[in-house]
Amino acid sequence: MFCIRLTRQFKLSRVRQLHSTVNVKNENKVVSETSKTAETSQSTVNKEKVDFVTGTRPPMHAVSSMDKRILVWVKRFPSIDQVPDYVSYQCIQHAHTKARIRVCFIMFFLGIVICVAAVVAGKREAASGKSIATERVKWYMEIKKKAEEEKKNAENVQ
């Protein structure tokens, strides 16, 4: 699926290059009466070649259920039921780009909210007297007490 999409995009870029080279070749020429008739015949031939390569309608993309949800989320279509089975590549690419940007903004926002929550929680614990150092000291004291109790139990048993 991904390979097919890449090959289609490569074909589209080659068609774009063909369009750009046709326009550049015609822009650099000096126009005269005799060249106008030659240009019109060449431009019709070039247009026929381009139409043969690209076709009259743009290449279409088969829409999956996830693509339908993305198209509705970016408001290209009002509902999932109204999304057609085939959409142009430009439409789906613009929708994916907008969705990617929205997801990035959501992730930025969530990251900021989580950082603020961590700062607030840290300040609360610092105000209550908890810190990593005090927790570590308490843990070591518990371990020492358990070790002493085990020694006493071992001595009493013998």
Residue 101: is its pLDDT beyond 50? yes
HSE, CB side, 13 Å, CA atoms: give it for residue 127.
6
**For the residues 116-135, what does the mean pLDDT come to?**
91
pLDDT at 103: 97
pLDDT at 60: 87
What would the pLDDT profile of 14-65 be if each residue is shown by its tens digit?
545 544 444 444 444 454 555 455 555 555 555 555 444 555 667 888 999 9
Q: How confident is the model at residue 66 (pLDDT cuts 50, 70, 90)?
A: very high
Query: Tokens 């743009």 label which residue?
Result: 58
Q: Which residues contact 129 (CB under 8 A, 6 or more apart)?
A: none
Distance of CA 149 to the CA centre of its chain: 59
Residue 91: is its pLDDT beyond 80? yes
How would you classify residue 132: left for phi > 0, otherwise alpha for psi between -120 and 50, otherwise beta?
A: alpha
Would you kindly state where each structural domain of the chain is located, as residue ranges? 1-56, 57-127, 130-158
pLDDT at 7: 67
At 85, which helix (H) or strand (E)? none
Q: Is the dihedral of CA 89, 95, 98, 104 positive or negative?
A: negative
